[in-house]
Structure formats: structure tokens, C-alpha cells
Amino acid sequence: MENKTGKNVSSGAKKVETLEKESAAANAANGGAEKKTAHKSVKTGAGKPSGTAKKPSARQKVSVAEKKENAAAEKRLSAAKGKAEKKERKLLEKAELKQKKLEKKLALKEKKLAKKEALAKKKADRKQKKLDHIAALKEKKVERRAEKIARREMLKNESKTDRRARVEREKKERIALKRQRAAAREKEREQRMKAREAAHERRSQERRHKREQKTERKKHAPGFGGWLAAVISLGVACLALSTVVTAGAFRMNDMTLETANGYRSTLYEMVEASEDMDDNLSKLRVSSGENEQRMLLTDILVDAELLENALERMPVDSVTSTDISAFVNKTGSYCRTLLGKLGTGELTETEKNTLEYLYRVNSGLYSELNDMTTHMTEKDFMAFIGGGEGTVSQKFGEMGQSTLQEPETTVDAPFAGEGNVGENRLNAEEEISEARAEELAKEYFSAYHIAQTQFTGETVAHETTCYNFTMQDESGNEIFVQITKNGGKLAFFDTYEECTEKNFDLDTCDSLAREFLSGLGIGDVEAVWMSDSGMVADLTYVGVNGGVRVYPDLIRIRVCESKGRVVGMDAMAYLLNHDPARRIGGATSREEAQEKLSEGLTPYSAHLAVIPLNGEEVLAHEFACTYGEEEYVVYLDAQTGEELAVYRVRASARGSYLK
């Protein structure tokens, strides 16, 4: 077989080669003849052109074919080169796109890394800030302790005369400080008044300047000669008309002034009635005597009727009038109810909470009324009585909205106030004497620097007898203490201390409360509720048995956030119900119980809990859930999954259920 390697040539090249071979053969055969013919033509003079056209030679044909083939080859080469360039360009664009993607990915990675580093730095700064705060608190605590020690050393050798003089001096200093603060507030109020008056004067000057400019422009305005006669005629007619209108205007001004004075008098009646109601509600919050409470409730009832009558005479819109009237009527109706119940016993905790709510809302109402009457201008008041919009109308609208607050009745943990459930555990304790109870009381409050203790009698509550003591510390603060006759346990104590600054947060207050409970021998508790009312932290604890919350073993503690010490405790429920040997039965799994929750409830926390129900202890699954924007605590029977109790968690400044 013939080897064809290297013989792959184009058809044009083959044709050219074939033509060249044929031309060479023809030239070899006809060479002599051609020469002879040429010679003969020269001799005979036969140079005349023949009658037919001369055909192109084979070499000429080969040359044309070569040119065509070369042109075609160049065209193919150019096309191949363009295709190669296009392919190379696409590869280059693809490589650039890939490079951009890599750069973008690298930039995103660097950005994430920078963000992560920033978060880590922020977290570290926050942690360091917290540590610094804790260190500052500890340092302050050490300083206070040193001050207390120094004060205690100073008081050891203090005589009664010196002590009396010191107490009087400290009292005067506190009074002077209060006066100084009141003076500062008054000065600040005067400064605001002056700033407001200056702004009012500035606006008046601006309006006066604009009027003058307008008048000046009118003076230089082009005249209207043709209109002069018409203007004079119109002026004469207006003068005649104004003579008639002026007399009526004087009478109308007198009526408007009389109406304004009447409304202003009614407004001052509202302020007076609201102020009197504020004073009486404030006294009722701290009153414990039945006769005094009856007198205060009667006065509040009268004030509510006066305020309602005055409100009916004011030109406020129907919505605002309805809102304020609803609150005033609610206050009067509740006072009437309490008057009927006073003969049956003391006010309950819920009733005291409701009175606190009424006092808070009325205090805001009185403050707004007083502020409005002090700062309103004549223009605003006239706009108000005329039915127009203004500062006074806006203030009344805000007062109407403020009366729509709801009483914060849900401020304790679920099942708070249930008291004894089942057997009274204190009955098994040994009775102690009054003298021994006094010794124990001094031991419980050894860190409070008690100056004197006085026995004030006995109290029977929840089938338990307690010794009552009134104790006074070195600063003159009184502490009311109850020690159980059986066992000598600290069941209750309360004191009032002025807490004006927030030096301790809730977590620190929780630690202080646990430390206080530990000193009483109570350590198996868990915080289920924390609230922050003013500068006093209210903490609620329940017992814990093998990880199960025991709500019958409930303790409530108050901690002053200014001084960082416990200022109140109610541990009666814990003492009545706590049983270290309490046996807790089995329960279904949390998943099985969760399936029986109502549709729409989304649980975010769950615990096993022993709850009081109809005088008995029942094991239940406790679920803290959300339903839309609302929060609920639901209790399901740990055996059957039956719904036992549902509590709504109110979002308020006084606290929320702990997860």
C-alpha cells in the first residue's frame, strides 16, 4: 500500500502540477516544428495576423489558477485567524469574569471576617464594661462597709444627748436637701418660662415687622386714580355699617368675656378637686385604721362627684370627656364598694393594688391640669372655648388617653397568695417564748445595725401565730418584723427606706436576695418573677425539688436598688408548705404534653411544676407561650394533659415572667 503521509495537497495544487507536465511534454514534441515555422515566417515575410484570436497558453492558465488558489488560501487563512482571535477573546473575557468573581468573593470574605472581629471586640468591650461595673460596685460596697464600720465605732461612745443632736442634725440636712432640690426645680421651671416668654416676644416682633413691611409696600404701591371715587363711596358706606356693628360687637365681647371667665372658673374647680383627690388617695395608700380609711374614702367619693360635674361644663370633645368621666366614675364606684366592705376586714393586696393604680392615674391627671392652667396663654384658652385646636385641646386629649391605663393586677408569680396547701408544716415545730423570738429577730437583722427592739403583740394568720416586733436601726428607720411562734422563723418583715438612685440592677438584687435567704437557711429556691418598680426590685422565688418548681413554697422579697439591701420579705407560704421530703410522681414527656396545647400557642419555655389546685398539690407541665404579640403561662396536668390554669403575662414596667 502506498504511503500517503505528506501528500495531502489541495486539488488546485494537483491541477497546477498536471498542467505543467502536459505543457512540458507538448513543448518537447513540438519544439522543432515551432522553430521551423518561426524561421520560415521570417524569411517569407509572413507576419500578418491571422483571422482567429490567439488562445491562452497552458502556462497562463496555470498562473490564473495559482492566483485563484492563493486568494482562496489567504481568505481561509484570514477566516481561521479571525476565528482564533475571537476564541482567544472569549477565553480572555471568561478569565477576567472569573477573576472578578474571585475578587468579589475574597472581598465578601474579608468583610465577614471584619464584621466578626468587630462583634468579638464589641462583645469583649461589653464584657469588660460589665466587669468594670461589678468591680466598681464591689469597691463602692467596700467603701460603704468601711463607712458603716467607722460610723458604728463612732456610735459606740455616743451619748443620748449627742445621738439626739445627731438625729436632729441629719433630719435638718435631709430637709435642707429636699428644699434645695425643690428650689432647683423651681429655678428650672422659671428658666423655661422665661425662654417661652422670650420666644413668644420674638415671634410677636417678627409678626409686627412683617405687618410694617406690608404697610410700607402698600404706601408705595401704584395708585388707581379711576377707582378713587368708588373707594370713597365704599368707605362712606362701610363707616355707616361699622357704626351699627360696633355696638353689637361690644355686647358680643362682654358675653365672650363672661363665658371665658365661667370656663376658667370651672377649670380651676377641676384642678382643686383633682388635687384634693390626689392627697386623699396618697393617704389611703398608707392608712391602716378603719375610721381614717372610711373618712378618706368618703372624701374621695365627694371629690369624684365634684370633678365629674365640673367636667360636664367644659367644652371638651365627646371622646375625651368619655375617657376622663369613665375614670372618675370608676374611682367613685370603687370607693363606694370599699366603704361597704370596710366593716368585714382589712383591705386585701388586690384592693391595695387597685388603689395604687387609681392614685397613679389621678396623680398624672392632676399634674397635667395644674401644668396646663399655669402655662396656657389667653390665645390658647380662647381657641379652646371657641372649639378650635390648640394647646389646651391637645392637653385635654392627652389627659383622656392617660386615664386609659389598666391596673397592674398581674405583678406576682402565678399562684401567689395561695397560702397553706394541705398540712401546716409549722405545727410540727417547737413553740418558743417571746424573749427567744426577740433574740432571733436581732440575729436575723444583725447586719442592719439595730438600735432598739420593741415587742408589739401577737398576730394569728393562716392558722399560724406570730410575734410582732418593731425595730429601729441607727438611722432611725423602723422595721416591722413577724417571728413564728412555732419554730421561731422569720415569716415577714417590711421597712421603708428612701431609694432615689438605681445603683444596683436586677441581677445584683437577685444575688443580694439569695444571700439574705441563705442567711435564713433557705437555699433551694429559683427566681420565677422579677419586677422593677421605681427604685425597688420585687423578686419572687419558689422552691425547687429535683429540678421541679414548687409553687406552694413561695417567697417574695423587695430590695432597695439605691442601698443594695433587702427591705421587705414575705416567706409565710414557704414556711407553711415547704417539705424537704416531698415526693414527686412521674409525668408524661414534655413533647406529649406540648401536643395538647391550644392551637396558636407557641411555647418558648417549659418546666415541670407542682402547683396548688383546690387545696391540693398537683404536678403539671408549665409552658410559657406566645400568641401573636401576647404572652401566656399555661399549666397542663402532667398525667392526663388536661388544662389546669392559664395566666396572661402583662407587659409593664413592673416586670415580666422569667424564662
Task: Output the 3-class SS for 345-374.
Answer: CCCCHHHHHHHHHHHHHHHHHHHHHHHHHH
Pick from 30-39, 531-540, 552-561, 610-619: least confident: 30-39
For residues 369 and 461, the model is more confident at: 369
Average pLDDT of span 224-247? 54
Phi, psi torsion values for 251, nearest 5 degrees: -65, -40
Question: What's the whole-number mean pLDDT along residues 652-658?
Answer: 48
Per-residue pLDDT tens for 267-288? Answer: 777 788 888 888 888 878 767 6
- Is residue 624 within 8 Å of 604, Cβ to Cβ? yes
Query: What would the mean pLDDT of 584-607 be, rounded to a whole number?
Result: 88
Q: What string of DSSP letters covers 85-142?
A: HHHHHHHHHHHHHHHHHHHHHHHHHHHHHHHHHHHHHHHHHHHHHHHHHHHHHHHHHH
Q: Which of 594, 608, 605, 595 is nearest to 632 (CA)?
A: 605
Residue 636 confidence class, pLDDT cut points 50, 70, 90: very high
Q: How far is CA 68 from CA 9, 23, 61, 551, in A?
A: 16, 20, 11, 108
Q: Whole-number mean pLDDT of the chain?
A: 76
Q: Of the segments 240-244, 330-334, 412-416, which one has the largest average pLDDT value?
A: 330-334
In this prediction, residue 260 carries a pLDDT of 65
Q: What is the mean pLDDT of residues 228-248?
A: 55
Alpha helices in 590-652 (DSSP H): 590-594
Q: Is 63 helix (H, G, I), strand (E, B) or coil?
A: helix
Of 623, 624, 619, nearest in space to 638 by CA:
619
Q: How long, in residues, is the chain?
A: 659
Residue of higher predicted confidence among 542 and 343: 542
Q: What is the pLDDT of residues 85-96, one digit of tens each?
A: 888 889 999 899
> Could you tell me the CA-to-CA distances from 36 to 27, 40, 41, 394, 515 in Å, in that order?
14, 6, 8, 136, 144
Contacts (Cβ under 8 Å, ≥6 apart) of 649: 410, 624, 630, 631, 632, 633, 656, 657
pLDDT grade, residue 37 (50/70/90)?
Answer: very low
Please give the backbone phi and psi of residue 511, each rounded to the nearest 5 degrees, phi first: -65, -40
pLDDT at 227 over 60: no
Which segment of 18-22, 88-92, 465-469, 528-532 scores lowest on mean pLDDT? 18-22
Of 337 and 440, the structure prediction assigns the larger pLDDT to: 440
What's the distance, CA 159 to chain centroid? 53
Lowest mean pLDDT among 165-169, 303-307, 488-492, 589-593: 165-169
Q: Is pLDDT above 90 for 383?
A: no
Instruction: Kindly state the cell numbers that stand for 81.
Output: 485567524
Between 14 and 213, the more confident residue is 213
Range with lowest mean pLDDT among 125-134, 173-182, 246-255, 316-325: 246-255
R_g (Cα) of the chain, nearest Å: 51
Percent of the chain exceeding pLDDT 70 equals: 71
CA distance 561 to 559: 6
Q: Is the pLDDT of residue 601 over 70?
A: yes
pLDDT at 614: 76
Residue 369 has pLDDT above 60, yes or no: yes
Question: In terms of DSSP bridges, do strands 450-461 and 490-495 run parallel, antiparallel, or are they unpaired?
Answer: unpaired
Q: In the structure, what pLDDT confidence band is assigned to residue 384 with cuts at 50, 70 and 90? A: low
Residue corresponding to grid cell 435564713: 520
Q: Are 584 and 545 in contact (CB under 8 A)?
A: yes
Residue 623's pLDDT is 93
Is pLDDT larger for residue 189 or for residue 209?
209
Phi-psi region of 9 (alpha: psi -120 to 50; beta: other; left: phi over 0): beta
